[in-house]
Amino acid sequence: MNKDVILKDLGLKDYKETWDYQEQLFDGILNTKIQNRRQNLNDKTDNYFLFVEHPHVYTLGKSGKLEHLLLNEEQLKAKKATFYKINRGGDITYHGPGQIVGYPILDLDNFFTDIHKYLRTLEEVIILTLKEYGIEATRSKGETGVWLDVDTPFARKICAMGVRASRWVTMHGFAFNVNADLGYFDNIVPCGIKDKAVTSLNVELGQKKVDVEEVKTKLKSHFEACFEAKLILK
């Protein structure tokens, strides 16, 4: 099993360009697996972990409802935001400046073949990162992602997740609000959930801005530990 994971930090990048790049990496891994099976080969499959920040964009997953986007086309333009229907699970979410978006494109045959465990492990990476900032985060039963004060009237989501998997190869991932403009969430029903709020790390810490590179360093460390992986920067 290949537990090396190629880490790429794409900086600020258009959503559609990044989605196309994910598909390229995803298809490359799938093709290797198909050839291995057809030709009885044992070529190793690559794994990737992308960090990216997107311009304002709303994305709707396969199980989502279009009415959860509360803006029309003109209003989207006014807010300098774009909208895409995409091939991950889940409902609608927002990506934008001030978020750390992480896309693990992994062959789970290199780790463990269990999508439920995969999502819980990704959540654990975020939970452990928040713990380093003195924030106790948790899961919400039946709802993917990472939450604060989940069993209180003040429940709020700090990290959304949605993935796609085929032949145990993953794509898409998480959107972690670090210095996010939370006003953009007012234009959707986030993840189709009406009764819980959204928050950002800087808000929880009472800071104007959190050091994003410091957060990424912590995320990388916990990703390696939780997935028993080795990140290789390229």
Residues known to be catalytic: 191
Known binding residues for substrate are: 88-95, 160-162, 173-175
Rounded-to-integer distance, Cα 234 and Cα 231, Å: 9
Q: What whole-number distance in Å separates Cα of residue 8 and Cα of residue 19?
A: 14
Q: Which two tokens stand for residue 71?
A: 């803006």
Binding residues: 88-95, 160-162, 173-175
Sign of CA dihedral 74, 75, 79, 80: negative
Phi, psi of 88 (to 5 degrees): -95, 170
**Euclidean distance between CA atoms 180 and 38, whole angstroms:** 46
User: Is there a contact between 169 and 29 (Cβ–Cβ < 8 Å)?
Assistant: yes
Pairwise CA distance, residues 219 & 133, whole Å:
12
